[in-house]
């Protein structure tokens, strides 16, 4: 057996296990070694019924003697009640609001229960335990559960997502692997020096400890090592990418702020100091010999578009070296067609006085401003026509969705790329855009300047790691005169009151968003079906019961682009008063007259995401309102949601989310290529900073990692993975 032998060859496995391994992407012995448990169960928690006390967290093996669905007498809450028995006694188990469990666990069956002992009217019961059916009951005193007789407290690793593959099986398989001497093949990609400095175990030790810890501190030390390793490698990769990017010669553009003055003076508002500084920083980048790679991070509504427009102006009014009468080009990429259209229209307003062409490319059509027939309007044109004008340089500003990345799109003098809502795009998509100048253009060897923009508030540690290759500018000031959104947490008994308040706003001519977690109603007969509001049903209900006199429209991701556009237009033109939508409106939509937002089922979203959604209504100087509707009974949830009332900005909320709910709740962590373990590490600023410092040091001394072949290999592997994202 060696690290690369397949599990299938070395172990006898059945069809179910085969499928499960495939689903988890585990093929080789090495894969399995790197499949980590997410928690441990200790035999210390394993108990008999006799002697249990209130408040104890326990694991119990018992037989289900009786089980039935019933209703709690006081509030008629549906529940399941069961009588459990082991050799030492009996106890009742109660699952509130989960009547279906009575059908899942037949009388007479054996199961493992994990839960907390509660007490009511002097009687102990097991409240809402997790359960897992087993074939027989273990005999605790004699053959201890995990056949490790002589240890008082043995810990069993519990692996994630083991459908078809028990944690016990994985554990025993790993023990066999350990005994085969395979571990001696393991080489550590992190140098001894670093391990010593931070007191981290070697890779071999860490692998043994994470699967078979003898004590809690072993498990913790090895998790720390793997977390460090992950952040270290991400940082290395980013540092390497940054050094590489700075070798790219680019378009040298020497516009001054003075030269931008006329353009900026035309804005219908005075820029914030933060906007002015950001514009200056970007102009400074343009003057350098190499390509800019900058992230502009600013809360929703902080005015990123204006910063982009002003810097685009600097590009547009600069001529390519060899053609004094022509203009350098800009590509502006956004994630949705609605947004693309909206930006197309605002850019026409910004730039029309310059008499330049502006193009729009999406999968449902291409457009150009100005139209030949009517010079103040835009017109639909064929794709091939648009592409021709882009490639011969006649369209200096091209706005678009993912369609911009397609092979057929080629520029003559692409000098600037703006990626709006950049967290919605993969790294590969961004990279593709930087190679868009055609071979005949003469600018092929130049890399365009790249400005990424995002409002996604993420904790600082995470930003440091995943955006380590970018220079960061924060837009940390809201436009002058913006009133903070008045946010209310609305429990079911306060709903009607909230609706009355909303009616007053609608009467003033304002519009409203209602955000629901689902598109269509879930099947209520399904066990555990989530009874959450759906867009379609909620729109009907609001029309029938609450707001009959108003126009209500729906918007969700399953609609066709043309339908979405129609609805969005109607909402923009105030033909629709209330827009009931899924979180598709999350990104960038700008309707200043919409000043009220209801967030339904709010407990299901992360705070940072709720904040993003709420940002839809802070687009003007009217007072905006956000109603956070939740049916939750949990005080903790209400407390968490209440952070929306006090937090100063999205970053604060992101930190809050990380602390309260854990890393899994940060929006889309998968897309960053950071594992759950790595995300855990993000909570630890010191660890993140240490890993980053070491990575930067290593790259400075060793730009190609020439002295560290193992590390270089590992980095190449991660890079490849990210490219397949
Ligand atoms: P975001 O940063 O979320 O992309 P936008 O660029 O869409 O924000 O700007 C939000 C709104 O604020 C727009 O209607 C824009 O015209 C307006 N705006 C931008 N900057 C200012 C400013 N300095 N003063 C007043 N309003 C502004
Ligand atoms: Mg925006």
**pLDDT in the model for residue 499:** 96
Residue 513, phi-psi category: left (phi > 0), alpha (psi -120 to 50), beta (remainder): beta
Token pair for 323: 């053609």
Block residue for tokens 């062409």: 357
| Domain range 261-287+303-454, CATH architecture | 3-Layer(aba) Sandwich (3.40)
Angle, helices 257-265 vs 273-286, to 10°: value is: 140
Starting at the earlier edge strand, list the strands of the sheet with 471-475.
379-381, 365-369, 358-362, 397-400, 329-333, 414-419, 449-454, 293-298, 471-475
Which residue, by CA, sits nearest to atom 15 of ligand 1?
303
Return the DSSP state at 480.
Answer: T
Looking at mean pLDDT, say which of 82-96, 155-169, 468-482, 662-676 comes out highest: 82-96
Find the range with the poorest average confidence among 535-549, 628-642, 663-677, 687-701.
663-677
422 lines ligand 1 (CB under 6 A): no
**pLDDT in the model for residue 311:** 98
Angle at the Cα of 57 (from 56 to 62), degrees rounded to 5?
100
DSSP string, 120-133: ETTEEEEEEEEEEE
Residue 716, phi-psi category: left (phi > 0), alpha (psi -120 to 50), beta (remainder): alpha
In the reported structure, the alpha carbon of residue 280 is separated from the centroid of ligand 1 by a whole-number distance in angstroms of 18
Work out the percent of the chain whose per-residue pLDDT is above 90: 48
Compute the distance between CA of residue 126 and CA of residue 114 in angstroms, rounded to an integer.
Answer: 9
Q: How do 57-71 and 329-333 pair as beta strands?
A: unpaired
Closest listed residue to residue 285, CA positions, set 259, 255, 323, 322: 255
Fold of 486-648: Rossmann fold (3.40.50)
589 lines ligand 1 (CB under 6 A): no
SS3 7: helix
In the reported structure, the alpha carbon of residue 305 is separated from the centroid of ligand 1 by a whole-number distance in angstroms of 7
455 lines ligand 1 (CB under 6 A): yes
What is the atom index within ligand 1 of the atom nearest the CA of 272?
23
Which residue, by CA, sits nearest to atom 24 of ligand 1?
479
Closest listed residue to residue 35, CA positions, set 175, 235, 170: 170
In the reported structure, the alpha carbon of residue 599 is separated from the centroid of ligand 1 by a whole-number distance in angstroms of 23
Which residue, by CA, sits nearest to atom 21 of ligand 1?
479
In the reported structure, the alpha carbon of residue 581 is separated from the centroid of ligand 1 by a whole-number distance in angstroms of 23
306 lines ligand 1 (CB under 6 A): yes
**pLDDT in the model for residue 149:** 39
**pLDDT in the model for residue 662:** 59
Compute the distance between CA of residue 474 and CA of residue 481 in angstroms, rounded to an integer.
Answer: 20
Nearest bound ligand to the CA of residue 303: 1
**pLDDT in the model for residue 585:** 60
Which residue, by CA, sits nearest to atom 19 of ligand 1?
303
Which residue, by CA, sits nearest to atom 27 of ligand 1?
479
In terms of residues, how long is the chain?
A: 725
pLDDT level of residue 137 (50, 70, 90 thresholds):
low
In the reported structure, the alpha carbon of residue 296 is separated from the centroid of ligand 2 by a whole-number distance in angstroms of 11
CB proximity list for 422: less than 8 A, separation 6 or greater: 295, 430, 452, 453, 454
Compute the distance between CA of residue 597 and CA of residue 215 in angstroms, rounded to an integer.
Answer: 51
Q: To which CATH superfamily is domain 45-151 assigned?
A: Nucleic acid-binding proteins (2.40.50.140)
Within this chain, domains 45-151 and 261-287+303-454 share the same CATH topology: no
What is the atom index within ligand 1 of the atom nearest the CA of 480?
24
**pLDDT in the model for residue 526:** 45
Cis peptide before 572 (omega within 30 of 0): no
pLDDT in tens, 200-259: 999 999 999 999 888 778 888 999 999 999 999 989 998 888 888 888 899 999 999 999
Angle, helices 216-245 vs 203-211, to 10°: value is: 130
**pLDDT in the model for residue 671:** 52
**pLDDT in the model for residue 532:** 56
pLDDT in tens, 667-715: 444 555 677 777 777 778 888 889 989 998 999 888 888 888 888 988 8
Task: Select from 272, 299, 306, 339 the residue to mutate for testing ligand 1; criterion: most ligand atoms less than 8 Å from CB.
Answer: 306
**pLDDT in the model for residue 441:** 67
**Bridge partner list, 295:** 452, 472
pLDDT in tens, 394-453: 999 999 999 999 989 999 999 999 999 887 887 778 778 888 887 766 677 889 999 999
pLDDT in tens, 367-391: 999 998 888 899 999 999 999 999 9
Q: What mean pLDDT, rounded, does the chain reach? A: 86
Which residue, by CA, sits nearest to atom 23 of ligand 1?
271
**pLDDT in the model for residue 148:** 45
Residue 439, phi-psi category: left (phi > 0), alpha (psi -120 to 50), beta (remainder): alpha
What is the atom index within ligand 1 of the atom nearest the CA of 420?
4
Closest listed residue to residue 366, CA positions, set 341, 343, 333, 346: 341
349 lines ligand 1 (CB under 6 A): no
SS3 627: strand
208 lines ligand 1 (CB under 6 A): no
Compute the distance between CA of residue 31 and CA of residue 37 in angstroms, rounded to an integer.
Answer: 13
Compute the distance between CA of residue 545 and CA of residue 662 in angstroms, rounded to an integer.
Answer: 39
Task: Give CA torsion, residues 222, 228, 231, 232, to 10 deg.
Answer: -120
**Max CA-CA distance within the chain?**
93
Residue 309 vs residues 213, 312, 351, 392: alpha-carbon distances, Å: 57, 5, 9, 23
**pLDDT in the model for residue 150:** 39
Task: Give CA torsion, residues 673, 674, 675, 679, to 10 deg.
Answer: -160
Work out the percent of the chain whose per-residue pLDDT is above 70: 90
In the reported structure, the alpha carbon of residue 14 is separated from the centroid of ligand 2 by a whole-number distance in angstroms of 52
Q: Is 589 exposed, middle or buried (0-12, 13-18, 19+ CB in 10 A)?
A: buried
Q: How do 449-454 and 293-298 pair as beta strands?
A: parallel
pLDDT of 151 strictly over 50: no
**pLDDT in the model for residue 557:** 81
240 lines ligand 1 (CB under 6 A): no
Number of Cα atoms under 13 Å in the Cβ half of residue 696: 11
Nearest bound ligand to the CA of residue 619: 1
pLDDT in tens, 551-605: 999 998 888 878 888 898 899 899 999 999 987 665 556 788 999 999 998 888 8
Return the DSSP state at 158.
Answer: E
In the reported structure, the alpha carbon of residue 269 is separated from the centroid of ligand 1 by a whole-number distance in angstroms of 9
Find the range with the poorest average confidence among 3-17, 78-92, 270-284, 640-654.
640-654
**pLDDT in the model for residue 588:** 52
pLDDT of 459 strictly over 80: no
Residue 160 vs residues 24, 35, 39, 175, 490: alpha-carbon distances, Å: 10, 9, 8, 18, 36
**pLDDT in the model for residue 520:** 63
Nearest bound ligand to the CA of residue 590: 1
Q: How do 358-362 and 365-369 pair as beta strands?
A: antiparallel
34 lines ligand 1 (CB under 6 A): no
In the reported structure, the alpha carbon of residue 453 is separated from the centroid of ligand 2 by a whole-number distance in angstroms of 8
Domain boundaries, the chain: 1-41+163-184, 45-151, 261-287+303-454, 486-648
303 lines ligand 1 (CB under 6 A): yes
* Domain 1-41+163-184 CATH assignment equals 1.10.150: yes
Task: Select from 305, 347, 420 the residue to mutate for testing ligand 1; criterion: most ligand atoms less than 8 Å from CB.
Answer: 305
Compute the distance between CA of residue 302 and CA of residue 305 in angstroms, rounded to an integer.
Answer: 9
302 lines ligand 1 (CB under 6 A): yes
pLDDT (mean) for 335-364: 93
**pLDDT in the model for residue 366:** 97
With helix as H, strand as E and coil as C, how does 8-52 read?
HHHCCCCHHHHHHHHHCCCCEHHHHHCCCCCEEEEHHHEECCCCC
457 lines ligand 1 (CB under 6 A): no
**pLDDT in the model for residue 170:** 92
pLDDT of 466 strictly over 50: yes
Closest listed residue to residue 462, CA positions, set 227, 265, 290: 227
650 lines ligand 1 (CB under 6 A): no
Q: What is the CA radius of gyration of the chain?
A: 30
Count of CB atoms situated within 10 Å of the CB of 551: 15
SS3 310: helix
Which residue, by CA, sits nearest to atom 5 of ligand 1?
303
Number of Cα atoms under 13 Å in the Cβ half of residue 255: 26
In the reported structure, the alpha carbon of residue 72 is separated from the centroid of ligand 2 by a whole-number distance in angstroms of 50
In the reported structure, the alpha carbon of residue 571 is separated from the centroid of ligand 2 by a whole-number distance in angstroms of 18
**Bridge partner list, 47:** 60
Contact (Cβ atoms closer than 8 angstroms) between residue 375 and residue 355: no
pLDDT in tens, 603-616: 888 888 888 888 88
pLDDT of 725 strictly over 50: no
pLDDT in tens, 58-96: 888 899 999 999 887 766 788 999 999 988 899 999 998
Return the DSSP state at 546.
Answer: I
305 lines ligand 1 (CB under 6 A): yes
In the reported structure, the alpha carbon of residue 107 is separated from the centroid of ligand 2 by a whole-number distance in angstroms of 58
592 lines ligand 1 (CB under 6 A): yes
pLDDT of 145 strictly over 70: no
What is the atom index within ligand 1 of the atom nearest the CA of 346?
16
């Amino acid at each position: 057996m060696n690290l690369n032998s397949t599990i299938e060859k070395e172990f006898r496995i059945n069809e179910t296990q085969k499928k499960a391994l495939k689903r988890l992407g585990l093929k080789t012995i090495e894969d399995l070694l790197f499949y980590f448990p997410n928690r441990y169960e200790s035999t210390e928690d394993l108990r008999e019924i006799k002697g249990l006390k209130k408040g104890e967290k326990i694991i119990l093996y018992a037989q289900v003697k009786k089980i039935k669905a019933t209703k709690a007498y006081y509030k008629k809450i549906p529940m399941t009640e069961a009588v459990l028995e082991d050799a030492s006694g009996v106890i009742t188990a109660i699952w509130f609001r989960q009547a279906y469990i009575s059908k899942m666990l037949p009388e007479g069956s054996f199961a493992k229960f994990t839960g907390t002992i509660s007490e009511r009217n002097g009687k102990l019961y097991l409240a809402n335990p997790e359960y897992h059916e087993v074939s027989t009951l273990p005999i605790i005193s004699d053959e201890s559960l995990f056949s490790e007789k002589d240890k008082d407290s043995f810990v069993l690793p519990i692996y994630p997502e083991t459908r078809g593959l028990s944690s016990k099986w994985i554990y025993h398989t790993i023990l066999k692997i350990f005994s085969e001497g395979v571990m001696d093949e393991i080489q550590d990609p992190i140098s001894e020096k670093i391990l010593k400095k931070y007191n981290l175990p070697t890779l071999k030790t860490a692998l043994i400890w994470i699967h078979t810890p003898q004590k809690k501190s072993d498990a913790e030390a090895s998790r720390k090592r793997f977390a460090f390793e992950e952040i270290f490698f991400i940082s290395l990769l980013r540092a390497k990418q940054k050094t590489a990017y700075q070798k790219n010669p680019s378009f040298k553009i020497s516009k001054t702020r003075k030269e931008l003055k006329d353009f900026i003076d035309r804005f219908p508002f005075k820029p914030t100091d933060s906007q002015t500084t950001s514009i200056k920083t970007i102009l400074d980048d343009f003057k350098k010999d190499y390509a800019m790679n900058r992230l502009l991070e600013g809360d929703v509504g902080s005015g990123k578009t204006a910063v982009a427009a002003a810097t685009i102006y600097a590009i547009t009014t600069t001529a390519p070296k060899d053609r004094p009468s022509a203009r350098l080009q800009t590509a502006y990429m956004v994630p949705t067609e609605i947004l693309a259209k909206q930006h197309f229209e605002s850019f026409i307003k910004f730039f029309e006085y310059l008499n330049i062409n502006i193009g729009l490319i999406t999968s449902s059509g291409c457009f150009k401003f100005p139209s030949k027939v009517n010079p103040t309007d835009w017109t639909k044109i064929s794709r091939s026509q648009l592409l021709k004008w882009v490639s011969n340089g006649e369209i200096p500003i091209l706005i678009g969705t993912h369609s911009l990345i397609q092979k057929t799109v080629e520029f003559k003098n692409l000098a600037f790329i703006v990626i709006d809502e950049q967290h919605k795009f993969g790294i590969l998509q961004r990279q593709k855009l930087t190679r868009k100048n055609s071979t005949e253009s003469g600018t092929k060897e130049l890399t365009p300047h790249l400005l990424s923009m995002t409002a996604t508030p993420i904790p600082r540690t995470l930003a440091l790691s995943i955006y380590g290759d970018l220079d960061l500018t924060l837009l940390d000031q809201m436009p002058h005169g913006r009133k903070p959104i008045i946010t209310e947490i609305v429990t079911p008994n306060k709903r009607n009151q909230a609706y009355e308040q909303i009616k007053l706003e609608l009467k003033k001519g304002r519009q409203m968003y209602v955000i629901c977690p689902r598109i269509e109603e879930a099947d209520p007969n399904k066990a555990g079906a989530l009874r959450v509001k759906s867009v379609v049903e909620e729109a009907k209900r609001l029309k029938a019961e609450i707001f009959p006199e108003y126009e209500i429209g729906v918007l969700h991701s399953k609609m066709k682009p043309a339908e979405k556009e129609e609805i969005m237009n109607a909402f923009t033109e105030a033909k629709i008063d209330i827009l009931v939508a899924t979180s598709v409106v999350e990104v960038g939509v700008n309707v200043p007259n919409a000043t009220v937002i209801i967030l339904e089922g709010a407990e299901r979203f992360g705070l940072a995401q709720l904040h993003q959604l709420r940002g839809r209504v802070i687009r003007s100087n009217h007072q905006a309102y956000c109603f956070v509707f939740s049916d939750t009974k949990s005080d903790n949830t209400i407390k968490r949601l209440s952070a929306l009332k006090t937090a100063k900005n999205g970053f604060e909320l992101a930190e809050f989310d990380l602390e309260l709910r854990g890393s899994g709740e940060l929006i889309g962590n998968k897309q960053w290529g950071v594992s759950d373990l790595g995300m855990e590490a993000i909570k630890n600023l010191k660890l993140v900073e240490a890993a980053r410092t070491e990575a930067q040091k290593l790259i400075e001394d060793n730009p190609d990692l020439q002295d560290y072949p193992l590390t270089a290999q590992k980095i190449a592997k991660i890079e490849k993975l990210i490219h397949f994202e």
